[in-house]
Amino acid sequence: MVAPTALATLVVAGLASLFMAWAIGAGSSGSTPFAPAVGANAISILRAGFLVGILGLLGAILQGANVTEAVGTELVIGDPLSATAATIALTVAATLVAIGIFTGYPIATAFTVTGAVVGVGLAMGGSPAWGKYQQILALWVATPIVGGGIAYATARLLRSTRVSNMKAVAFLGGVVGLIIANVQFVFLGASGEQASIAQAIGNALGGGLVPYAATAVLIATAFAVVLARQTAVDATRAQRRFLLVLGGLVAFSAGGSQVGLALGPLLPLLSDFEIPLVVVLFGGGLGLLIGSWTGAPRMIKALSQDYSSLGPRRSIAALIPSFAIAQTAVFFGIPVSFNEIIVSAIVGSGYAARDEKGEVSPAKMGYTVLAWVGSLIGAFAIGYGGFLLVEWLLTFV
């Protein structure tokens, strides 16, 4: 039988987790996926907030396990987070993200959560997980370079006079189709495992490399053909449809990645409760949905208009690398900030068209980078000091 005290502490930590999920939904997973589409006038701000909430909920349920487990158990070596530590970490991170929402600057959620969790974990007496930190740092550093670079190259391809618009869009559609074919889903794998669409179909055909590769190529070709035909009929409409599909894919990926930032610190507290992980993921996804519906419009406006005035082509260029990087992070269970992903891609696509109206704001980018670094350091320091302060105060109770 579970002690009333344990249940009470779980409720308190659960409320902090819900607050974090709301903040992420309003600021990161809720605003970034459709921001380029809004900037290109392909969808309204309110409709974007509604769709991203639904898709984020689905992504949280179907892909949220990897990052949730990484944040909950792999950032600090030693005893799992206590209820006090988890509550402090989530409250600190969510507060910093909320400040970013109301000031109009997109705080990197992965930075705040990682900093806060590591801070309270070390304050508890844990040891640094240097191997995991190297993986996280490598992805964080590579994101603006790789994401911005791919976005720049994609935007240049779409603007090139040497390649027809139909061929360029068809090629990019094939790339997206290939990524989709390899996206991992819980319901496609064996019990406790994940599998991609290509793996599932390949296994049904007998298994092996050939059926798997053939399936992936077939899916990629289907995407390319459909987009090529739509572009031949109406290029502008085809680009906008492609843009909305990409926004949906990024929103889904955001749910799978960002829900782990809200639920990870809560995992160690669930060991005494027989709650299926899918139920926990649903609760976190519901928090993301509420945040997207209530707080995302402000950040969608900031990302879609303040950084760069994006057209459909540059928006497509921004979302393709965002989708790829997000799925990479989900696959390896690495916490990553969607604000960093999407802003880097927006900047890359913006520099590809510096001769057009819609230049990137250097001042806005400078303040954003400072906010990212400051949120990481601040979350760590406040989490570390906050836990020691609370523990000291509890000695008088």
Taking only the tens place, the pLDDT of each residue in 111-120 is 899 999 999 9
Mean pLDDT in residue range 291-313 = 69
Give pLDDT, residue 354.
61
pLDDT digits (tens, 9 = 90+) for 358-384: 455 667 677 777 877 888 899 999 999
Positive or negative, the Cα torsion across 304, 309, 312, 318?
negative
The reported pLDDT for the residue numbered 361 is 62
pLDDT tier, 307 (very low <50, low <70, confident <90, very high otherwise): very low
Residue 61: is its pLDDT beyond 60? yes
| Among the listed residues 358, 357, 353, the one whose alpha carbon sits nearest the alpha carbon of residue 307 | 358
**CA–CA separation, 198 and 179 (whole Å):** 10
Is the pLDDT higher at 293 or at 8? 293
State residue 308's pLDDT score: 47
d(CA 379, CA 351): 32
Is the pLDDT score of 159 beyond 80?
yes
Domain count, the chain: 1
- SS3 of the chain: CCCHHHHHHHHHHHHHHHHHHHHHHHHCCCCCCCHHHHHCCCCCHHHHHHHHHHHHHHHHHHHCHHHHHHHHHCCEECCCCCHHHHHHHHHHHHHHHHHHHHHCCCCCHHHHHHHHHHHHHHHCCCEECHHHHHHHHHHHHHHHHHHHHHHHHHHHHHHCCCCCHHHHHHHHHHHHHHHHHCCEEHHHCCCCCCEEHHHHHHHHCCCCHHHHHHHHHHHHHHHHHHHHHHHHHCHHHHHHHHHHHHHHHHHHHHHHHHHHHHHHHHHHHHCCCCCCHHHHHHHHHHHHHHHHHHHHHHHHHHHHHHCCCCCHHHHHHHHHHHHHHHHHHHHHCCCCCHHHHHHHHHHHHHHCCCCCCCCCCHHHHHHHHHHHHHHHHHHHHHHHHHHHHHHHHHCCC
pLDDT for 227? 92
Q: Which token pair is 217?
A: 């190529």
Tell me which residue of 113, 46, 63 sits closest to 86, measured CA to CA. Answer: 113
The confidence score (pLDDT) of residue 128 equals 93
Looking at residues 266-284, what average pLDDT do you find? Answer: 81
Cβ-based neighbours of 15, under 8 Å, separated by 6 or more = none
pLDDT of residue 36 exceeding 80: no
Strand 127-128 and strand 184-185: the pairing is unpaired
Most distant CA pair in the chain, distance: 74
Q: Is the pLDDT of residue 352 over 60?
A: yes
User: What range does the domain containing 314 cover?
Assistant: 4-394
- Kindly tell me if the per-residue pLDDT of 239 is higher than 90: no
Residue 118 and residue 48 in contact, taking contact as beta carbons nearer than 8 Å: no
Mean pLDDT of 176-187: 89
The Cβ of residue 226 has, within 10 Å, a number of other Cβ atoms equal to 16
pLDDT confidence of 31, banded at 50, 70, 90? low
Mean of the pLDDT values across residues 390-395?
Answer: 86
Which range (36-40, 146-150, 284-288, 291-295) has the least confidence? 36-40
What are the structure tokens assigned to 389, written together? 């302060």
Most confident of the ranges 101-110, 272-281, 283-292: 283-292
User: What distance lies between CA 175 and its chain's CA centroid?
Assistant: 20
Least confident of 259-263, 296-300, 353-357: 353-357
- pLDDT for 359: 54
Hey, what amino acid is at 208?
G
Q: Which region among 48-57, 100-109, 370-379, 382-391 has the lowest average model confidence (pLDDT)?
A: 100-109
Q: Which of 305, 284, 278 is nearest to 20 (CA)?
A: 284
3 pLDDT tier (thresholds 50, 70, 90): low
Q: Which two tokens stand for residue 300?
A: 């969608």
Q: How far is it, in rounded angstroms, from Cα 289 to Cα 259?
A: 11
pLDDT tier, 387 (very low <50, low <70, confident <90, very high otherwise): very high
